[in-house]
């Protein structure tokens, strides 16, 4: 099993939105960065755990847990000319972009803020806090995942 952090702006798609979806599952579309795409296409597997992270908001942070619910498949929003994620170079025959389905697991009572994460010495090597790392999908080590989940549950 692998562990991931996936960022979403809550105004665009929040953990509450995921909770409201049929079967509490939805596709994670619109990824237009090759490294993030490769993570989804090549490395994510059904059952992998995800730290759901709200970005570009008043207090960015991890707000809950989701899990990978499907293998990667072509991002159909790239084929639709009226989509904000349209890419004329991506075709059904030769898709350039991929997505996975994600399923809601848990919403934290209190988020674990980026500010808090930066104060934890054991998380100092986490990709999220590395300078210049702005990917919307990144790998997380199991111990980093466990520390953040514990912080959410205990507040410590």
Low-confidence ranges of the chain (pLDDT < 50): none
Rg, the chain, Cα only? 15
Q: Are 54 and 111 in contact (CB under 8 A)?
A: yes
Which CATH number is 59's domain given? Answer: 3.10.590.10
**Model confidence, pTM:** 0.95
Q: What is the DSSP letter of 143?
A: H
* Total domains present in the chain: 1
* pLDDT the model gives residue 35: 95
Q: Are 102 and 64 in contact (CB under 8 A)?
A: no
CA atoms of 108 and 67, how far apart (whole Å): 15
Q: Which domain holds residue 131?
A: 3-154
* pLDDT the model gives residue 133: 81
Reported as a single tens digit per residue, the pLDDT across 6-45 is 999 999 999 999 999 999 999 999 999 999 999 999 999 9
């Amino acid at each position: 099993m692998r562990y991931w952090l996936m960022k979403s702006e809550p105004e665009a798609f929040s953990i509450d939105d995921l909770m409201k979806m049929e079967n509490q599952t939805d596709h994670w579309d619109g990824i237009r960065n090759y490294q993030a795409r490769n993570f989804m296409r090549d490395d994510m597997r059904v059952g992998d755990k995800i730290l759901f992270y709200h970005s570009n908001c008043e207090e960015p942070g991890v707000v809950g847990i989701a899990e990978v619910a499907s293998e990667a498949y072509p991002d159909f929003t790239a084929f639709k000319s009226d989509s904000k994620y349209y890419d004329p170079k991506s075709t059904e025959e030769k898709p350039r972009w991929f997505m996975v389905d994600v399923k809601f697991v848990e919403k934290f009572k209190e988020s674990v803020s980026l500010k808090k994460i930066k104060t934890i010495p054991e998380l100092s090597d986490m990709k999220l806090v590395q300078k210049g790392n702005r990917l919307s999908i990144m790998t997380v080590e199991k111990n980093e995942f466990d520390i953040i989940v514990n912080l959410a549950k205990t507040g410590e």
